């Protein structure tokens, strides 16, 4: 009986620690969603299932062709230090062009250039972003990508509490 009480006490003592290890409710980051994450979401939403092996291979080949063409047309990017995030990890990253983001993530669910809307999307990070961003693109899973001209300048993600 005493062992059981000790075990229960330890369990309840660790619950707050487990809760604090959950993903943050909102975050500001330099790396955003991956192409695969959003593609799988879209396929599941459209078809009610995850993509099969053949669909995945076809998509990977198409993405690789688009990336290869882009890098062939933009040799300055092909030789940059950050090209691996684009070419191999297929992940949006601060500093990428709008064209690179579109190749990886596809079109956004919504976009805005309205300062009031930008402030709402950026939430508590707006004071740091104000004056440095001119446009925001919204993607699934609460991802918001902020651009300054043609370059990705900031990334936030907001996930409502469950």
Residue 102 has pLDDT above 60, yes or no: yes
Q: How many separate domains does the chain show? A: 1
Say if 13 falls within a structural domain: no
- Provide the pLDDT for residue 148: 98
* Higher-pLDDT residue of 18, 76: 76
Whole-angstrom Cα Rg for the chain: 20
Say if 153 falls within a structural domain: yes
Q: How far apart are CA 74 and CA 60, in angstroms?
A: 21
Residue 117 C-beta-side C-alpha neighbours within 13 Å = 12
- Provide the pLDDT for residue 121: 96
Average pLDDT, the chain: 88
36-40, 52-56, 79-83, 110-114: lowest mean pLDDT where? 79-83
Residue 112 has pLDDT above 70, yes or no: yes
Say if 22 falls within a structural domain: no
Tokens of 37: 């994450």
Tokens of 159: 């996930």
Q: How far apart are CA 50 and CA 94, in angstroms?
A: 29
Average pLDDT over residues 133-141: 98
Q: Would the pTM count as exceeding 0.85? A: no
Q: Are 113 and 137 in contact (CB under 8 A)?
A: no
What residue numbers bound the domain in which 41 lies?
Answer: 28-158
129-136, long-range: CB < 8 A, 24+ apart? 129/153, 129/154, 135/111, 136/111, 136/112
Residue 21 has pLDDT above 70, yes or no: no
Residue 6 has pLDDT above 70, yes or no: no
Say if 16 falls within a structural domain: no
Say if 96 falls within a structural domain: yes
Tokens 């030789």 belong to 79
Say if 142 falls within a structural domain: yes
126: Cβ–Cβ under 8 A, 6 or more apart, which residues?
118, 119
């Amino acid at each position: 009986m005493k062992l059981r009480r000790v075990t229960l006490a330890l369990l309840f003592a660790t619950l707050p620690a487990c809760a604090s290890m959950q993903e943050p409710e909102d975050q500001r980051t330099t790396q955003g969603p991956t192409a695969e994450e959003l593609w799988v979401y879209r396929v599941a939403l459209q078809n009610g299932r995850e993509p099969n092996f053949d669909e995945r291979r076809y998509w990977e080949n198409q993405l690789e062709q688009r990336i290869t063409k882009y890098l062939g047309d933009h040799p300055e990017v092909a030789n940059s230090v950050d090209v691996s995030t684009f070419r191999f990890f297929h992940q949006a990253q601060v500093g990428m062009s709008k064209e690179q983001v579109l190749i990886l993530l596809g079109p956004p669910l919504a976009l805005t250039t309205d300062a009031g809307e930008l402030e709402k999307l950026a939430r508590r990070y707006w004071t740091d972003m104000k004056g440095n961003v001119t446009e925001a693109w919204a993607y699934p899973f609460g991802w918001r990508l902020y651009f300054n001209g043609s370059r990705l300048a900031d990334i936030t993600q907001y996930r409502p509490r469950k």
